[in-house]
Amino acid sequence: MDIQSAEDPAMGSNDQIELAHRLTKSLEDGDVEAVRSAFCPDAVLWHNTDGLTLDLDGLAGSFSSFVADVPKRHIDVHERLNIAGSLFQSHTINCATHDGRAFKLRGCWMLKFERGKIIRLDEYLDGSAFPSALSTED
């Protein structure tokens, strides 16, 4: 397998860590516009829970729905590592629904960068932790 590094000359590793920090804080705060601003206009998000790849509008819609269903969110970041021009982050999202049900989502991101922003986010979440009320299955 040929693995290529796509280094972003516009960003150093500290810039990537700072952008990941800002994205994490925006997600905690429920700030959809700040989340959007971290991404390139042609960015994509893939997540393992449904295997879908979303564009930026889809990402914003998905995030808006999550914020509406889960008004309390706190993200504990466990680790951030720069890997060949990308950034890996592992974290736990501590959540509470409107009716007070608390749950934790353990997950990680692999972020890729272009033009000083995120061009791709691969998100892995432990889907078994989702409350049944938030399930997208019929």
Domain ranges of the chain: 13-131
* CATH fold for the domain made of 13-131: Nuclear Transport Factor 2; Chain: A, (3.10.450)
Q: What pLDDT digit, counting tens, does each position of 67-114 carry? A: 999 999 999 999 999 988 899 999 999 999 999 989 999 999 999 999
Q: What separation in angstroms does the CA of 85 have from each of 13, 62, 115, 119?
A: 8, 27, 12, 12
CB 126 within 8 A of CB 119: no
Q: What pLDDT digit, counting tens, does each position of 27-70 carry? A: 999 999 999 999 999 999 998 988 999 999 999 999 999 899 99
Which one, of 75, 86, 85, lies nearest residue 26 by Cα? 75
- pLDDT bin (cut points 50, 70, 90) of residue 4 is very low
Q: Mean of the pLDDT values across residues 117-128?
A: 91
